[in-house]
Amino acid sequence: MHNGVVFMSSLLGIRIRPRAALTFALLAWIVAPAALAADCPGHPNALGTSRTLVVDPKEHPWLGIMQYPETLPLADHEVVLTFDDGPLPRNSNKILEILASQCVKATFFTIGRMAQAFPEGVRRLRDAGHTIGTHTQDHPLSMNRMSIERARQEIDDGIASVKAALGDDADASLAPFFRIPGLLRADIVEEYLAAQGIQIWSADFLADDWRHISSSRVYDLAMKRLEARGRGILLLHDIQARTVAALPRILSELKARGYHIVHVVPATAEQPATATEPEQWRSHPSSEDVAQWPKIPNFIFADAGALPAPSLSDFDLVDARPIALGEPFDRPRRPAHGVPLPSEAPWPPLSERPLENAAATLPAPARSLFEMPAGLHIALHGAPSPRHAEQAGSSDHQTDTKVFSADTGDSRRATHNKLRIGRSLGRNRHHGASRVAGREIRPAATAHRGPQKHLVQVKKRNV
């Protein structure tokens, strides 16, 4: 784009100032999408690649709103697609086919050992015109705590493996772009890469496609987070089948909503960096919907007013005293079988609440709640069917049935009968079935047809 501005200015015989050149470049970008999309053979309605952005890694060593104060200088509704962890032929090749069908260019951060295992996959990225960066040799999720010697080995070995896969033109084909595995940044790693002239790429938003979620969820997250910011670097993984399934829908929706794809390449002597203003590189988080990576530096938001401190009257305190927390809210509990457990509730359990407070709060139940109408039959859990209940009610062995009356004397008699049944069951526990209350009772040890069934009859004696 910058070269085109220089060419047109020399053709017209006029000099264009840097700020005017930037405006001219934006005007050229406005008319570029239609032309580039129309140049996609066999796909006249393809999304296409709107423009190429040339960046100088030495001028801007760290990119990505999720971790750094700078990100790519994109206009509204511009997106840069990036893919990590490949190549893995069964999925990476499908990703390349989908991108080719839409004439879309992306940036791939390749793992060294994957390049060693599938060197042809790395060369396919080069032949398709995509940008190739690196992603360490073994993808360790410990770059934030390893020694500089170990980190340097991971970085250098990863670059060497990708260069070996690319062959003779490796220096021209491999971009000085690097993404830290897991985005687990560290100062010593950043300083080493900057000294080597290698640009670190974080991201502006994610689609969580490395998690065990559906492809539709990957699509939903990608579009929701993009809409929240309006532009940015999207991080995906070309080794994931769910990403393969979600990508066609993502590209289709990008076109439907008026988004444009930007291809990023490093500056060279023959291709200088695209003219930009410093303000364009500064990141400005605009929404809470933009995913933020765990354990990263806090961002400073402009015009962030302080909230008033709450007063004690805003809280429900126990005995008008503040509740002492055992540990901070965000401290995770010890994991069980590798799964983090949710934090315990900070408030005290009910067993530690003062009993006098609870007694004063709960009303005593009225006696009328326990009155039962005369002749009421209550079937307990596991009660017999209505037919069996009718037979038990008409049995001649009335003295051995459990009959409960509202009167205290009847209750004692019923309890006595209940104890007689229990003793009978105990005596016959080792002698097979026995007959109690005029029917056969099987011991619990040999009963296999379900729990015991009883009928409780409640009678109220007339006074």
Structure confidence by residue, pLDDT tens digits, 292-324: 454 443 333 333 344 455 554 444 444 445 444
408 lies in some domain: yes
**Quick check: 270 pLDDT over 60?**
yes
Is residue 441's pLDDT more than 80? no
pLDDT band at 404 (very low <50, low <70, confident <90, very high): very low
pLDDT value of residue 98: 98
Q: Is residue 84 domain-resident? A: yes
Q: Is position 25 within any domain? A: no
263 and 412 both lie in a single domain = no
My answer on whether 56 and 187 are in the same domain is: yes
Q: What is the pLDDT of residues 147-175, one digit of tens each?
A: 999 999 999 999 999 999 999 999 999 99
Domain boundary among 242, 259, 281: 281
Question: According to the model, what pLDDT value does residue 39 have?
Answer: 73
The per-residue pLDDT for 314 is: 46
Whether 287 is in a domain gets the answer no
Q: Clarify whether residues 277 and 375 are in a common domain.
A: no
Q: Are 144 and 184 in contact (CB under 8 A)?
A: yes
Same domain as 412, residue 267: no
Q: How far apart are CA 105 and CA 46, in angstroms?
A: 12
**Which of 265, 281, 297 is the endpoint of a domain?**
281
The tally of domains found in the chain comes to 2
Is residue 87 over pLDDT 50? yes
Within this chain, do residues 140 and 248 fall inside the same structural domain, yes or no? yes
d(CA 268, CA 171): 12
Task: Say if residue 452's pLDDT is above 60.
Answer: no
Task: Calculate the alpha carbon distances from 292 to 98, 341, 360, 440 in Å.
Answer: 28, 22, 48, 70
Residue 341 lies in a domain: no
Residue 97 has pLDDT above 80, yes or no: yes
Q: Are residues 382 and 275 in the same domain?
A: no
Q: Within a domain: residue 235? A: yes
pLDDT one-digit tens code per residue, 101-136: 999 999 999 999 999 999 999 999 999 999 999 999
339: in domain: no
pLDDT in tens, 30-56: 434 444 545 788 888 999 999 999 999
Domain that holds residue 212: 46-281
- What CATH number is given to the structural domain containing 131? 3.20.20.370
**Number of CB atoms found within 10 A of residue 161's CB:** 23
Q: Are residues 256 and 382 in the same domain?
A: no
